[in-house]
Amino acid sequence: MPSYSILAAHAASTRSKEIIMRKLTALFALAGMLLVTGCNTMAGAGKDIERGGEKVQGAAENTKQKM
């Protein structure tokens, strides 16, 4: 029959692993949320830049027609 100290050490080891796994899960969840947020932000910036380019192109065509 195992002694109490061996069982206590095993329980402490198991608890430590559980805490580490919870922290890693939280870290990966946070990283995933930041990644998704970053992608949406970059997509929005890309659309804004595209609209700006379209405006410049339209203005250039209008100026060309006036010449």
pLDDT tens string 9-22: 777 778 888 888 99
Q: What is the pTM for the complete model shown?
A: 0.49
pLDDT tens string 39-54: 777 778 888 889 899 9
Chain centroid offset of residue 59 CA: 38
pLDDT computed for residue 43 by the predictor? 77
Q: What is the dihedral of CA 33, 39, 45, 51, to 10 degrees?
A: -130
36 vs 45: CA distance, rounded Å = 14
pLDDT band at 4 (very low <50, low <70, confident <90, very high): low
27 vs 56: CA distance, rounded Å = 43
Strands in 1-67 per DSSP E:
none
At 8, the amino acid letter reads A
